[in-house]
Structure 1
Amino acid sequence: MSIYDYQVKQTNHEMKSLSDYKGNVLLIVNTATGCGFTPQYEGLQNLYEKYQSEGLEILDFPCNQFGNQAPGSDQEITDFCQLTYQTTFETFAKIKVNGEEADPLYKYLKNEQGGLLGKTIKWNFTKFLVNRKGDVIKRYASTVKPEEIESDILAELAK
């Protein structure tokens, strides 16, 4: 299996194949709209604006598993992100990232890049960097700001 074998649910509830992103560098993030890390949306959008034309795609997966910090509907979350942080990268349907009901994509990501807690996501805004070949190459904790991983993204875009 590779990342391109997975499908994810869009906010309109249609499925989208991650194979649509082949050849791009991906930054996959589980997010929440009411979290102390929510201002990271600004940094994510800045990265997207700077590097989308070079092949960066940011995939936003809201998750309500951590302190009920993403309580809205898929559309409410998308609207919040677009109105508050002017996001233009895609926000997908809300998912679970831990437990038996975890989205298959997140099971795969955690298996490829375990964290300090092994194969669990500790909190909102955990980030995974995927290279142009579809390999999950790095995992970043919630506390790592988007601008702190810019050099890693640039390195992958240059390949």
Structure 2
Amino acid sequence: MNNDIYQFSANNNSGEAVQLSTYKNKVMLIVNTASDCGFTPQYKGLQDLYEKHQSQGLEILAFPCNQFKQQEQGDDAAIKQFCDLRFNIKFPLFSKIDVNGDNAHPLFNFLKSEAPGIMGSTGIKWNFTKFLVNKEGNVVKRYASTTKPEAIEADIEKLL
């Protein structure tokens, strides 16, 4: 089995399968998101990073998740509408998934195993946990929900 992220695919917000190999040679920031969370304003920071660094090879992949206090209750269309109206995001938005438990998306199981949290925990604690992936598809670092996107910029620039 490959030890990079390119072995996975996920459905985008329109329900179409996207191979993560599409993002080969790009730096990726993969985030589990929610529309009704205290960290939801991070969408703006993510969009700012994307606008600043996308031309250099940054991709931000947003994966809505309703596993934390039901803070993402809408369907994919409602989530996209919220993101478009509130934050005008231009980076890829994927279909709503689970990030923990028996139904966790295989991509997130991989991310969690490659970059465990504090004290080696693999579970994702909350919305807006972020995973930084280098151009070779290797998970470099995991960031807590409280880490603002702008605080990750220096790490992203090193990989670009």
Over 2 Å off, 4+ runs: none
Q: Secondary structure at the match of 1:59?
A: strand
Cross-structure match for 1:86? 88
Unaligned segments of structure 2, at least 5 residues: none
Q: Which SS does the other structure have where 1:96 is aligned?
A: coil
Q: Percent identity?
A: 57
Stretches of structure 1 that go unaligned for 5 or more consecutive residues are none
**Where do 1:1-159 residues align within 5 Å?**
1=2, 2-116=4-118, 118-157=121-160
1:10 Cα deviation (Å)?
1.2
SS at match of 1:91: coil
Q: Deviations over 1:98-139 (max 9, x none)?
A: 001000000000000000261100000000000001110000
The TM-score with structure 1 as length reference comes to 0.97
How many correspondences in the alignment? 157
The code of the aligned residue for 1:61 comes to F
Structure 1 counterpart of 2:100, which letter? N
